[in-house]
A and B are shown apart, each in its own frame.
Chain A
Amino acid sequence: MSRSRDHFWRGFRNGAPFLLVVVPFALLFGVVATEAGLDLLKVMGFSVLVIAGASQFAALQLMTDNAPVLMVLATALAVNMRMAMYSASLTPYLGAAPLWQRALAAYFLVDQSYAVSIAEYEKRPEMSVRDRVVYFFGTMTPVCIPWYVATYVGAAVGARIPEAWALDFAVPITFLAIIAPALRTFAHVGAALVSIAVALSLSFLPYNSGLLIAAALAMMVGAEIERQTTRRAARRKETKA
């Protein structure tokens, strides 16, 4: 029994540094959503039911523009599509756990818990499925619980923040801060540039539909650059051998 507690606390310790990112981000969501006109219950509804910051900000941004519901959903869900990849890559490690545990893990599958957990599973192949589940819940505890609390605090103080603070620009700054570290390879940069160019040039299209076209094209460009890069690297290896 004490072993499984060890796994929980190791996960907790490895997830804890993300507090520094999660707390300000959630505070900001609470503040910005409240300023946009959502009441406390709806702000909390977002953070508890969706529990995915970037997509919450994306939805909020389109709602501020009064975009049609389908556009809001399509854009915000597109931001979360990366999680299908997380889900797929965790399946070899957690797929044998009971359904309710997998469902619970899925609900808490956020960027930070995923990154920490997958690294641990790869490093320690001897972990049992149970150990892995316990570890996962350890990593998500210091990320998800503060997420709810800080959203609440942000929403509670949000209504009292003066306009001179220029919080309108908090959303773009936050997004840019998330995007920058994600620009790891030439393929990522290429996708981002296509996304920007197409979104700006199609901004005249109604209901933010230009953004969806931009995203689809950018994804294809990223995937294609990656395919070419891997192929070229493979060829180089072949000629060396």
Chain B
Amino acid sequence: MNYSDATIWLIIVALGSGTFLIRFSFLGLIGNRRLPDWALRHLRYTAVAVMPGLVAPLVVWPQATGGATDLPRILAAAATLGVGLTTRNVLASITAGAATLYTMLWLLG
């Protein structure tokens, strides 16, 4: 990470204020006016639209291996996703992913 202290604080404060404004938007400023359906429809998908795209390159080209695709990490990602889809439990899913990663690193490492 090559940012100056001031830049890092700028990021923290701007992200904090921006996030607050998003949360405050309707409660505080817009009041009881209803959001149009098309806007609600798009907002519903923001999280699943951003996070998979963010995580995919990290899984396929991990930083720890200098970007080379790595079997333990792919399997760990698959286990996390699989357990998450079947149990809908975040903690179980993280545990499965971590257990797979460590087992595979130990077996193949």
Residues on A close to B: CB < 8 A? 20-21, 24-25, 36-38, 42, 45-46, 49-52, 54-56, 58-59, 61, 63-64, 66, 69, 72-73, 75-88, 90-92, 94-95, 99, 102-103, 105-107, 109, 166, 168-183, 187-188, 191-196, 198-200, 203, 210-211, 214-223, 226-227
- Is there an interface contact between B94 and A173, defined as CB atoms closer than 8 Å? yes
Instruction: Tell me if B47 counts as interface (CB < 8 A to partner A).
Output: yes
Contact of A37 among B1, B25, B50 (CB under 8 A): B1
- Is there an interface contact between B25 and A50, defined as CB atoms closer than 8 Å? no
Task: Please give, as numbers and ranges, the residues of chain B lying within 8 Å of A178 by CB-CB distance.
Answer: 47, 51, 90
Contact of B54 among A25, A99, A175, A227 (CB under 8 A): A175
Contact A173 to B98, CB < 8 A, known contacts A61-B58, A69-B11, A105-B27: yes
Task: Please give, as numbers and ranges, the residues of chain B lying within 8 Å of A169 by CB-CB distance.
Answer: 62, 64, 73, 76, 101
- Is there an interface contact between A84 and B54, defined as CB atoms closer than 8 Å? no
Q: Could you list some 17 contacts between A and B, CB below 8 A? A: A55-B15, A64-B1, A75-B54, A79-B46, A87-B25, A88-B26, A90-B27, A168-B62, A171-B55, A172-B73, A181-B89, A183-B48, A187-B45, A200-B57, A218-B48, A218-B49, A226-B45
Q: Which chain B residue shows the least CB distance to A167?
A: B64
A119 → chain B, closest Cβ, in Å? 16
- Is there an interface contact between B11 and A59, defined as CB atoms closer than 8 Å? yes
- Is there an interface contact between B22 and A172, defined as CB atoms closer than 8 Å? no
Contact A103 to B24, CB < 8 A, known contacts A176-B77, A200-B56, A223-B41: yes
Interface size on B, residues (CB 8 A): 73
- Is there an interface contact between A42 and B24, defined as CB atoms closer than 8 Å? no
A204 → chain B, closest Cβ, in Å? 11
- Is there an interface contact between B91 and A168, defined as CB atoms closer than 8 Å? no
Contact of A21 among B16, B30, B84, B91 (CB under 8 A): B91
Q: Which chain A residue shows the least CB distance to B18?
A: A77
Q: Which chain A residue shows the least CB distance to B41?
A: A223
- Is there an interface contact between A179 and B84, defined as CB atoms closer than 8 Å? yes
Contact A177 to B15, CB < 8 A, known contacts A79-B51, A81-B46: no
Contact of A99 among B7, B26, B28 (CB under 8 A): B28
Give the distance in Å from the alpha carbon of A188 to the alpha carbon of B52 in the complex: 11
B99 → chain A, closest Cβ, in Å? 10
